[in-house]
Amino acid sequence: MAREIDPDTGLLYYGKVIVTVQRQFGKTDLDQADSLANCLHGPGRRVWYTAQSGQHASDAFTGLANYWEEELDESNVLRRATRSPRRSNGSQELRFLNGSTFRPFPPTANALHGKQGDKVTVDEAWAFPAASGNAILAGLGPTTLTRAKAIGQRPQIWIQSTEGTVESTWFNPMLDEQRARRFDAEDGQRIAFFDFGIPEDADPTDLNVIARWHPGFGHLFDMPTLEQMAEMFAGAPGEFARAFGNRRTGSSERIFPLADWDAAKFADPLPEGRVAVGAALGVEGTDATIVYAVRQGDRIVVEVAEHRPGTRWALPRLLEIKERAGDGVGGFAIDRYGPSATLADQAERAGLDLIPLTTSAVAASAGNMLSWLTEPLPDGTRGWRHRPHAALDDAAELATRRFVQDGAWTFGRRLSVGSISAIEAANAATWAVDHMPEPVGIQVF
């Protein structure tokens, strides 16, 4: 279907091909076979391939070059059609006797500046945030503009990947758009869309379901292999569902069980006491959240102070909180790794004394939150409580685990399918409330 011919023009009907499929399907091999066929179909073809990084693209090309060279030794036909691959970095190339070439390129906006392309593939599209993906796509447009006249064939752009993660702000909306229009294919878009995966109502932990809907099962792997893969992903069921079911994760794998989460809701005002402040930014600057935490005896109570789209507002708001609250705020905590690292740096340079928050501290606090939330105190209440807020509820539903060392875990931004900045800010505040410096009274020297 991707190479369907337009009966009115004799050219390829589709200018863009979007493929989303499970891992271990062989999509890269399939795409490379189509690319090689493109090179052989006419003289002077220009075919390009990229992936999530220049190194990944180069590695994929090297694998193809090795295979191609082996085939050259076996096939008189291929020896008459192509030369030996060039392998030097920066000039990797399969060159055919008809003048066609197949080359990898790094995924940057200007990588193909001044080049021409008859087929361009962007593999592992899930890895690109919106800004990067759109820049790459904008750079590909001029590459293909004049090729139909030059070679008498419509050029194609192939975009392919397994389902995305929270950082896949380029590929996920693309899939959503195509799935919404699948029953309106006559809307004038020249896009071929191939969507493989388990049904929405299927159980992603049922290996028989995975096997039934995986195009590679029985060809590339068998049930014992699938069982081994499921065991490898035992700590991240959402990632297994994404990888082998081509499905975005959801509430079925909540870290915080819904019944316990609801039981820990606290409708009263925040208790009196020294306040710890946690802040976090969403992936790719989608949003930011500031959370207060107060210890009340055996309990910690948290409250979302503010949650808004964007991130530029966060630092001025933190400085305002410090100025207004004075000694009432015992400390601020911001994760120095991941999306919030920029805010942590800005806050320190602006004069906020941050409570140290290492990866080990983040993991310890996450574990404490879960145990305090799920293990009732003698009076039946929870040791970690939260004032209701939509952003915090959403983040608790979407958050998944990421293991950082033997048995320890923190929140997996790449495995979640939406912003979890609210739960990260709550986690930071939870750590900070028990690690604030002691207040310093008047000192006489």
Residue 94 tokens read as 């399969």
Answer yes or no: is 216 within a domain.
no
CA neighbor of 274 nearest in space, from 290, 306, 299, 296: 296
Q: Which amino acid is located at 361 in the chain?
A: A
Weakest mean pLDDT among 34-43, 213-222, 235-244, 308-317:
235-244
Q: How many domains does the chain have?
A: 2
The structure tokens listed for 230 are 């499921």
**Whether residue 270 sits in one domain with residue 141:** no
CA distance 392 to 398: 10
Average pLDDT over residues 174-191: 76
pLDDT at site 77: 60
Per-residue tokens: 249: 């994760």
The whole-number pLDDT of residue 247 equals 82
β-strands 408-411, 287-296: how paired?
Answer: unpaired
Please determine, for residue 186, whether its predicted confidence score (pLDDT) is greater than 80.
no
Q: Are 244 and 210 in contact (CB under 8 A)?
A: yes
Please give the pLDDT value at position 301: 96
Q: Are strands 275-281 and 94-95 parallel, antiparallel or unpaired?
A: unpaired
Q: Three-state SS for 329?
A: strand
The reply to whether 191 and 267 lie within a common domain is no
The answer, yes or no, to whether residue 249 has pLDDT greater than 70, is no
In a domain, 180, yes or no: yes
The answer as to whether 266 is a domain residue is yes
CATH number of residue 303's parent domain:
3.30.420.240
Any domain includes 226 = no
Of 152 and 71, the structure prediction assigns the larger pLDDT to: 152
Based on the domain organization, do 175 and 277 belong to the same domain? no
Q: Which SS3 state, helix, strand or coil, does residue 298 take? A: coil
- In whole numbers, what is the pLDDT of the chain averaged over residues? 85
For residue 409, pLDDT beyond 90: no
In a domain, 219, yes or no: no
**Is 58 part of a structural domain of the chain?**
yes
According to the model, what pLDDT value does residue 332 have?
Answer: 94
Residue 144 lies in a domain: yes
Q: Is residue 154 domain-shared with residue 284, that is, in the same domain?
A: no
| Cβ burial 258-291 (10 Å sphere, 16+ → b, else e) | eebbeebebeeebbeebbbbbbbbbbbebbbbbb
Question: Does residue 158 surpass a pLDDT of 90?
Answer: yes
HSE toward the beta carbon, residue 303, CA cutoff 13 A? 14
Residue numbers of the domain that contains 366: 258-433
- Summarize pLDDT for 95-105 with one digit per residue, the tens: 888 889 999 99
Q: How confident is the model at residue 320 (pLDDT cuts 50, 70, 90)?
A: very high
- Tell me, yes or no, whether 274 and 361 share the same domain: yes
- Give residues with Cβ within 8 angstroms of 178, minimum separation 6: 18, 191, 193, 195
pLDDT attached to residue 445: 40
Per-residue pLDDT band for 229 (boundaries 50, 70, 90) equals confident
The answer to whether the pTM exceeds 0.95 is no
Indicate if 43 and 191 belong to the same structural domain.
Answer: yes
8-33: pLDDT as tens digits: 988 889 999 999 999 888 888 888 88
User: Is residue 370 scored above 80 in pLDDT?
Assistant: yes
Burial status of residue 382 (CB atoms within 10 A of its CB: 0-12, 13-18, 19 or more): buried
Each residue's pLDDT tens digit, 126-148: 888 888 889 888 888 777 877 87
Do 372 and 281 lie in a common domain? yes
Instruction: Say yes or no: 285 and 166 in one domain.
Output: no
> What is the pLDDT, as a whole number, of residue 443?
40
CA–CA gap between residue 275 and residue 295 (Å, rounded): 8
Lowest model confidence (mean pLDDT) among 66-70, 344-348, 389-393, 438-442: 438-442
Please write the tens of the pLDDT for every residue from 288-305: 999 999 999 999 999 999
DSSP code, position 269: P
Phi-psi region of 214 (alpha: psi -120 to 50; beta: other; left: phi over 0): beta
* Residue 4 counted as domain residue: no
Give the CATH number, domain containing residue 39.
3.40.50.300
Q: Which of 212-226, 230-244, 336-350, 377-391 has the lowest mean pLDDT?
A: 230-244
